Structure formats: C-alpha cells, structure tokens
Amino acid sequence: MPGESFRFIHASDFHLESPLGDLDTIPSHLRDAMADAPRHAAKAIFEAALADNIDFVVFSGDLLNPQTAGPHGMALLLDYFEKLNAKKKPVFWVAGNVDDPQKWPEAAPLPPNVTLFPKNKATAVPVQRAGRTICVVVGRSSEGRSTLHVPSFRVDPTDEYTVAVGYGASDADALKEGRFDYWALGGKHNRQEIEGGAEGAAVYCGSPQGRSLEESGAHGYSIVDVDADQTTRVHEIQCDAFRYCKVDIDASEIAAVGSIRNLLGERIVRLQHENGGRHLLIGWDISVSSGDNLHAIGDAEELLQWLRREFGSGTPAAWTASLVIRPPRHYPKSWNDEDTILGDFLRAADKHRKSDGRELNLLPFTEEHEGIQSTTSTLLADVPSSAREHILDQATLLGVELLRGGKPNLVQKS
C-alpha cells in the first residue's frame, strides 16, 4: 500500500572540536572566519532542519567531542536541539568515535526529541506525523570498530520505509544484506554514495566543512525526499564557508599562457567561478617535466608570497595554503654528461636513485654542526625509507639550482 511522503536531513562528521588544517600560517583577516567555519556549517544544517517541510533529522556520528569542543560547540548543539524540540521534530543521533555517548555530560541532558542510540544493540524507533507512522529509523552507535557491522542492525521486519543510521566503513555487498531502504552513513569526511547498498540509497554525506587538502571539494549534507511510493531522491546541499582545492599543474602548461603567474591567476579566477562566494584554500602541486622548465617557475617562495598578496585578501579570498614544486626525475642528458661538478653531482644522484637511496648516510653531515644535539642528529640521519625518494629529489633539485647559479628556494617543505 502507498504510504506518506516525507523529507528528512542526513548530516554527519561536524567535528566541532577540530579547526581547519593544512595551514602554515593563519592570515589575520581570515582568522575569525576560519575559527567559526565548522560552526557556520553546522548552523546552516540546523537552520535548514527548522524549515516546515523537514520531518526529522538523522546524524551519523562524530558531531563533536564534548571534552575538547569547548562550551561553544556544546551550546550550539543543545540550543538547536531545543529549537527542534519546540517544533516537535525528532532528531536521531548515532555516535561515532569522538562523540561516545558515555562522554556526554550528565549535567547537559538532551531534550526528549533527541534519540542518542546505544552502542550495545540496534534500536528501531518509529517516526510519527499526525498520529501515523511514516517510517522507522534503526540505529546503533559505534563500538569503536573501523568498519560497520551490518549484521548487528537486524531488527524485526516491517512494511514501513526504514532508515538505517550507522558509522564506519562498508561496501555495497555488506550494506545490502541489511535490506534497508536508506543507509545514513558516517565516518568519512568526503561525500560518497554507495551504489547498490540499499533499495533507495546508501550515502556517506561527509563533513559539512572540509579540514584539509585531502578533503578538497564541496562539503555539506543531504536532504532526502521519499514519496508515497517509497521512491527515494537524495539532494546534496553545500554549506562549507571555506573550500579546499588541490590543483595539479604541469610546467609545460606555462608556455601556453606566457608565464607561471598568468597561469596561476587564470586558474584562481576559474576556481572562484566554480566555487562561487566561498573562501578558497588552495594547494598547488607543480610538476617540472625537465630541467629546462626550472627557469619558467622562478623562486617558489617569491611565487608563494605573490599569490597570497595578490589573491589572498579579496572578498572572497583565494588563499594559497601550500605550493610544492615536484622536481624532474630526469635532467637534460647534456648536463649529466658534462665533465663538471654538475655532471658528477647528477651522476651520483642517479646512482642513489637506482638504489632507492638505501646507501644514503646523512649522519656525517649532521656531525659537522656541533650545536645539534645527539638525539636530533640521530633523528635527522635516520630517514624513513618512505621519505628517502622525496628527500633525494629535493636535494638533487637544490644542488642543480646552486651549481647552475640559480636560487635554492625551489626546494619546498612537505
């Protein structure tokens, strides 16, 4: 039999205790906005939830750590929970890793409209409107597992549309065993829809505000519409105030526009158009295809400061969070064949690269500096194998620049 249409919000991973990251410096003119960005995104979700056409809200974990989020984070949740309670709107909350129900202070009781699901078993709660059940919400808070344990969500079968709320990694094969109409999933900061995971949809809605270059792109929440025939439509709503952008550039692109500054400026204008109205935090990754391209890039530190000065103070701002130059793997053969110090240097670098840097011994270089403590010297000399290739590439670039009379500032910290 046809049921009733309804609409709900699915959101997760607020992490109100966590600031924006991947920043070597915080620009003074953006400091307040950056500090408020996670709360700004959360407020946008709650304001949308207060709209008359929203029937209920589901949160799938990691809203905040009560012990580290501070009074502002706690107050934001409690104030909006009370506002939703006043409008008789249910809130269903599955805890993740940071918002363990046992960490919630007894001195801050949740209003009666909020169901914080337990960790020890799955619980099914009917959602009613005008005295009639419109759907059932099934939830279980995380026990600390990295993966979602779908079998533990088994409940008595029902003909009602069923929303399952869970936290942890999973895939379509595991999720579909639950036989739910919608999976509201949490624990991943980037949005992901799992095709085939549920009859209607299975969605990690992601964090409403990205925190790093690894969380680049749009962030927000989901509005889910279910019609009388139980057809599900999921709408992605963006609410991030700052958007991280990772931009890869090949030095060969520079020639087409005349200079590296022209190229970066054009990319920023495009990014601002694509992400309209938001502050951008950009990570540039520039690959140098050959030694001949080095002169086209110039001094990386000067380029970084120019980008921040030219585009970082606008409204909205396009702030360069990082600029990394990826040196070429192969320099011109003529350089390598030279009977010069440069040639000797490049041949030695190639030898170490072929052995993955295993024969590199940096300890003698640290011992040349008497002011370095023995512990620090040991740490500097004992380079992890995973970092040796990167260090060798950067050291080779530095040597080439010095031996060819260029500036050494192309070497970037990773």
Reported as half-sphere exposure (CB side, CA atoms, 13 A), residue 90 has a value of 20
How much is the average pLDDT of 73-98?
Answer: 96
Position 333 in a domain: no
Give the per-residue pLDDT at 386.
72
Which residues touch 89 (CB under 8 Å, ≥6 apart)?
49, 50, 54, 55, 56, 57, 113
DSSP alpha helices (H): ranges in 182-337? 254-257, 260-274, 294-297, 300-311, 333-336
Position 173 in a domain: yes
Q: Please state the domain count of the chain.
A: 3
The rounded mean pLDDT for the chain is 89
Q: Are 320 and 381 found together in one domain?
A: no
Position 331 in a domain: no
Rounded Cα distance between 189 and 308, Å, is: 27
Q: Are 34 and 160 found together in one domain?
A: yes
How much is the average pLDDT of 204-216?
Answer: 97
Give the per-residue pLDDT at 279.
97
Q: Percent helix, strand and coil across the chain, each rounded to 5? A: 35, 20, 40
- Is pLDDT above 90 for 158? no
Q: Are 322 and 345 found together in one domain?
A: no
Q: What is the pTM of this model?
A: 0.86
**Residue-range definition of the domain harbouring residue 392:** 340-406
Q: Are 281 and 350 found together in one domain?
A: no
Residues 345-394 pLDDT 10s: 999 888 888 887 777 777 777 777 777 777 777 766 677 777 778 788 87
Residues 222-253 pLDDT 10s: 999 999 999 999 999 999 999 999 999 987 78
Residue 174, SS3 per DSSP: helix
Q: Are 379 and 301 found together in one domain?
A: no
Q: Are 360 and 261 found together in one domain?
A: no
Give the per-residue pLDDT at 103.
81
Position 412 in a domain: no
Q: Residue 136 has which token pair?
A: 């059932």
Q: Are 230 and 262 found together in one domain?
A: no
**Residue where a domain terminates, one of 274, 293, 326:** 326
CA dihedral 337, 340, 343, 346 (to 10 degrees): 180
Cis previous bond, 327, omega within 30: no
The CATH number for 217's domain is 3.60.21.10
Contact present, 63 and 93 (Cβ < 8 Å): yes
- Is pLDDT above 60 for 14? yes
**Sign of the dihedral through C-alpha 287, 291, 296, 300:** positive
Position 414 in a domain: no
Position 193 in a domain: yes
- Is pLDDT above 80 for 122? yes
Pick from 58-62, 153-157, 359-363 the range whose average pLDDT is largest: 58-62
Give the per-residue pLDDT at 199.
93
Pairing of strands 132-139, 162-167: parallel
Position 335 in a domain: no
Q: Are 260 and 348 found together in one domain?
A: no
Give the per-residue pLDDT at 356.
77
Residue 382, SS3 per DSSP: coil
Q: Residue 117 has which token pair?
A: 């699901």
Q: Are 186 and 301 found together in one domain?
A: no
- The pLDDT confidence band at residue 413, using thresholds 50, 70 and 90, is very low
How much is the average pLDDT of 11-26?
Answer: 95
Q: Are 194 and 257 found together in one domain?
A: no
Q: Which residue has the tokens 């054009």?
A: 266
Give the per-residue pLDDT at 329.
74
How much is the average pLDDT of 114-143?
Answer: 95
Position 413 in a domain: no
For 111-115, 193-197, 211-215, 383-387, which range has the lowest pLDDT when averaged over its residues? 383-387
